[in-house]
Chains A and B, each alone.
Chain A
Amino acid sequence: MRAMPGLAARIYVLILVALLPAMALALYTGVEQRRWAARDAQTDAMRVVDLMADQEERLIAGARQLLEQLAAEPAVQRHTDAGCDEYLAGLLPELPSYLNFGVLRVPDGFITCSALPMDRPVYSPDRLWFREAVRTKDFAVGEYQIGRITKRSSVNFGYPIFGPGGQVAAVVFSAFDISWFLDATRAAQLPPGSTLTVFDHQGVVLARHPEDAALVGQEVDEAPLSQAVVGSTEGATAEATGLDGVRRLYAYRPLRHAGGGAPVYVAVGIPASIAYAQANRILVRNLLLLALVGVAAGVLAWLGGHLFIVRQVQQLVGAARRLAAGDLDARTGLPHTRGELGALAASFDDMARAVQTREAETRAAQAALATLNAELEQRVADRTHALEEVNAELDRFAYTVSHDLRAPLRAMHGFSQALVEDYGDRLEPTAREYATRVAQAAQRMDTLIQDLLAYSRVCRAEVEVAPLSLAGAVDEARTQVAADLAARQAEVRIHPALPMAVGHRAMLVQVVANLLTNGAKFVAPGVTPCLEIGAEVRNGAVRLWVQDNGIGIAREHQERIFAPFERLHSVEQFTGTGMGLAIVRRAVERMGGRVGVESEVGRGSRFWCELPTGEGG
């Protein structure tokens, strides 16, 4: 199970990666929609501003018309009496968009007549519309201003009243209520929270919609918006934090009416939250949808991945583990479909089947081998048993030979000798010779049996080889056959410092003893046997040799002499059983060595035997 979360995690990461473009697209769309929303909002705002500009045009036209009529009114022309005040005051209810009407005396600007009552004398010679009307003798538009009588934001218009001499005697004015003007914008159906602000050229708020008395008349030129708005020459848009701290999308433009003078600026602000609401909603919706899709995709991936990948992989892994644990029946259990996993499952199952087949074959082969081994062992055991029986039989045979065959010989020998000794004086010489021959034959027979037994022993005995001193073995052999050598007056010369060899000491002693008696025996009549024993190491073997000065052996006989009972001479010439060299050869072979002879007729022989040195192999 360890590998599975990794696999699932990778699938999820892949899904996330796949969803990234969609997310980016959603975000991009959101940003774009916000931009569109901003543009829309600003377009709306601009439309309002444009609307206001239109209305101003109409307002001015309306104001001119009104003032022309007023200037022609007799009550107004007589502007110094109370009738004028009454007349003008009577107009106010009819024209709610105007705050006041009045007449200013030329040239000092003293207000002689006013629709609204004045608690004190008011002079306004400084107003633009007054000075312009006097100068141009025509309709003049004033600045947007805070009225000295009304104390409210207004735009005033002036129109000259001509005296009898055609001079400008007074100026009639009307104060148009800017707030009413602003109220007209309600028709533009701006979204709630929107603002409409009118600044003068100094950044003073002349009017504000909705009404905010605290702001009107304040200089807010430190506000970033007013800085952007004031001084601009044409319509523009901006996003800024408004005077009340709310972030809004603004559209603004200067209002430059026909009357000239310093411009005022109108800014329409739509709250960013409202302008962006739609875009934000769409963005949030898109993101939510995307998240939903992501979650759905994740769930589907989990289900699908689990169903189509993880489960298969788990089964594969499980099968692999079971196989590794030695369950050769383990298979994935998956359909071998065309997909990679199917192919993998097929490959795995094939492999598992192959392993199982191989294992079965191996087991069968091992079983066959075991059976074969058992049979072989049984056969070896049988054969060994048979051999042991044969050996035991041989042992019994040798025992019998050793005991029972020799007993009659001893009797023949003993009694024939007793006959000669005890009754020899009563026997004829021929009879005595016969008795002697019986004794000699018995003696020879006994020697023959002894040699046979020795040969049998050499063949059967267990041979355990060990490093031994050649000098010691030679010395012992020489002592063993000392009597025989002395009887033949043989001279024996032994080389000093004979090397070490590996062999069986008793066998080697017998080998050397046999070689010594052999060498001393086969000499020409009248020749003193002269024997020399030496040894040398050659080719990893120790070659021990016995050189004699005997009669020598013809090449064609050199192999034969090592066979049992092989004799080259008659008993009369040289006594012996023909077993000596056979025993030598068999003994040396049992010790892992080999024997041979170098000889020429009449020039002596050199018998040798080779034994391992026991060094290096």
Chain B
Amino acid sequence: MIQNGRGCILLVEDDPNDVLLIQRAFRNAKIINPIHTVGDGDAAVAYLAGTGDYADRAEHPLPVMLLLDLKLPRRSGHEVLAWLRQQPGIKRMPVVILTSSKETLDINRAYDLGANSYLVKPVAFDDLMHLVRTLDLYWCLYNERPDLNHGKGASAPPP
């Protein structure tokens, strides 16, 4: 059923409990896509840009989908999203917001900045498992992936 084993998912989440629970939910849902995790906004930007600790793309490959929390240390999820949408090539990456906030302000801002989906973390674990299964099914299986490298060199803004 899972056909895209190579595509990894980048989870940006600072709460280790949530990381554990989400990983368990993925595991229980039998999703084989590898999950890479970073704990703050700066790390997320570094990973996506392939700089610093994340320069090695073999070890830290570009994800097919970004699971982004909003309340993050150093750089908020909104800021990471705004930065990403400015980057050549990778700006096409599907971004799903996974957060605990149900505030209209947060939701609207996320969509304004170009989020592809907005999900609220459920409290019940069963719900979480159900959610990640659907998520993977939709974004990693059915959804056509964009080419994140095309136009990267040509349209890259001068550093």
Are these two chains actual partners, yes or no? yes
Binding site for B on A (CB under 8 A): 395, 398-399, 402-404, 406-411, 413-415, 417-418, 439, 442-443, 446, 450, 453, 457, 461
Question: How many angstroms from the CA of A409 to the CA of B128 in the assembled complex?
Answer: 13
Contacts of B24 in A (CB 8 A): 414, 418
CB distance from A444 to the nearest CB of B (A): 10
Q: What chain A residues lie within 8 Å of B70 (beta carbons)?
A: 403
Query: Is B17 in contact with A399, judged by CB distance below 8 angstroms?
Result: no
Cα–Cα distance between A414 and B126 once the two chains are bound (Å): 9
- Are A417 and B126 CB-contacts (below 8 A) given A399-B101, A402-B101? yes
| Extra contacts besides A402-B101, A411-B18 (9): CB < 8 Å | A399-B101, A399-B106, A410-B18, A410-B121, A413-B125, A414-B21, A418-B21, A418-B125, A443-B124
> CA of A453 to CA of B105 in the docked complex: distance in angstroms?
13
Partner of B103, one of A398, A409, A439: A398
A410 to B128, CA, bound (A): 10
User: In the assembly, what is the distance between CA of A413 and CA of B17, in Å?
Assistant: 11
The residue in chain A whose Cβ has the minimal distance to the Cβ of B15 is: A407
Count residues on chain B whose CB falls below 8 Å from chain A CBs. Answer: 22
**Chain A residues closer than 8 Å to B105, beta-carbon distance:** 395
Q: Find out whether the CB atom of B102 lies under 8 angstroms from the CB atom of A414.
A: no
> In whole angstroms, what is the CA distance A402 to B120 when docked?
10
Residue of B nearest to A443 (CB): B123
Least CB separation from B123: chain A residue: A446
Chain B positions within 8 Å of A414 at CB level: 17, 21, 24, 123, 125, 128
Measured between beta carbons, the chain A residues less than 8 angstroms from B128 are 410, 414
Q: Which residues of B contact A409 (CB under 8 A)?
A: 123
Check A407–B102 contact: CB distance below 8 A. no
Chain A residues closer than 8 Å to B108, beta-carbon distance: none
A442 to B18, CA, bound (A): 15
Residues of chain B lying within 8 A (CB to CB) of residue A418? 21, 24, 125
Instruction: Name 29 A/B residue pairs within 8 A (Cβ), A-sorted.
Output: A399-B71, A399-B101, A402-B100, A402-B101, A402-B102, A402-B103, A403-B70, A403-B71, A403-B99, A404-B71, A406-B123, A407-B15, A407-B18, A407-B100, A408-B17, A409-B123, A410-B21, A410-B121, A410-B128, A411-B17, A411-B21, A413-B124, A415-B17, A417-B124, A417-B126, A418-B24, A443-B123, A453-B103, A461-B104
State the 5 A-B residue pairs at the shortest beta-carbon distance, nearest first.
Answer: A411-B17, A446-B123, A414-B21, A417-B125, A414-B125
Q: Which residue of A lies closest to B121 (CB)?
A: A410
**In whole angstroms, how far apart are the Cα atoms of A409 and B103 in the complex?**
18
Beyond A411-B18, A414-B128, A415-B17, whether A403 also contacts B123 by CB under 8 A is no
The total of Cβ contacts below 8 Å across the A-B interface reads 65
The 8 A CB mask of B114-126 against A (1 = contact, 0 = none) is 0000000111111
**Complex formed: what's the CA distance from A443 to B128 in Å?**
13
User: From residue B78, how far is it (CB to closest CB) to chain A in Å?
Assistant: 12
CA distance A457 to B101 in the complex (A): 12
In the assembled complex, the CB of A415 is this many whole angstroms from the nearest CB of chain B, namely 7
Q: A408 vs B16: C-alpha distance in the bound complex, in angstroms?
A: 11
Establish whether residues B100 and A403, one from each chain, have CB atoms under 8 Å apart when the complex forms: yes
Q: How far is the CA of A457 from the CA of B103 in the complex (A)?
A: 8
Chain B residues, CB < 8 A from A395: 105
Bound complex: CA of A442 vs CA of B122, how far in Å?
Answer: 12
Residues of A within 8 A of B102 (CB): 402, 450, 453
B residues in contact with A413, CB < 8 Å: 123-125
A402 to B100, CA, bound (A): 6
Q: How far is the CB of A507 from chain B (nearest CB, A)?
A: 12
Provide the bound-state CA to CA distance between A15 and B82, in Å: 100
Contacts of B18 in A (CB 8 A): 407, 410-411
List, in ascending order, chain B residues with CB within 8 A of A398's CB.
103
User: Which chain A positions have C-beta within 8 A of B104?
Assistant: 457, 461
Residues of B within 8 A of A406 (CB): 100, 121, 123
Q: How far is the CB of B61 from chain A (nearest CB, A)?
A: 28
Expressed in whole angstroms, the Cα–Cα distance for A430 and B102 within the complex equals 36
Among B73-102, those with CB < 8 Å from A are: 99-102
Residues on A with C-beta less than 8 A from B123 are 406, 409-410, 413-414, 442-443, 446
From A395, A410, A461, name the one whose CB has the most chain B CB atoms within 10 angstroms.
A410
Q: In the complex, how many angstroms separate the beta carbon of B63 from the nearest chain A beta carbon?
A: 23
Bound Cα distance from A443 to B24, whole angstroms: 19
Determine which residue in B70, B103, B105, B106 has the highest number of CB atoms from chain A within 10 A of its CB, and name it: B103
**How many Å lie between the Cα of A446 and that of B105 in the bound state?**
20
Residues of A within 8 Å of B101, CB to CB, are: 399, 402-403
- Inter-chain CA distance A415–B25, complex, in Å, is 11
Q: How far is the CA of A409 from the CA of B21 in the complex (A)?
A: 12
Shortest CB-to-CB span from B19 to chain A, Å, is 11
List of B residues within 8 angstroms of A453 by Cβ? 102-103
* Complex Cα spacing A407 to B72, Å: 13
Q: Determine whether the beta carbon of B103 is less than 8 Å from that of A410.
A: no
User: CA–CA, A442 to B106, complex, Å?
Assistant: 24
- The smallest C-beta distance from B121 to any residue of chain A, in angstroms, reads 6
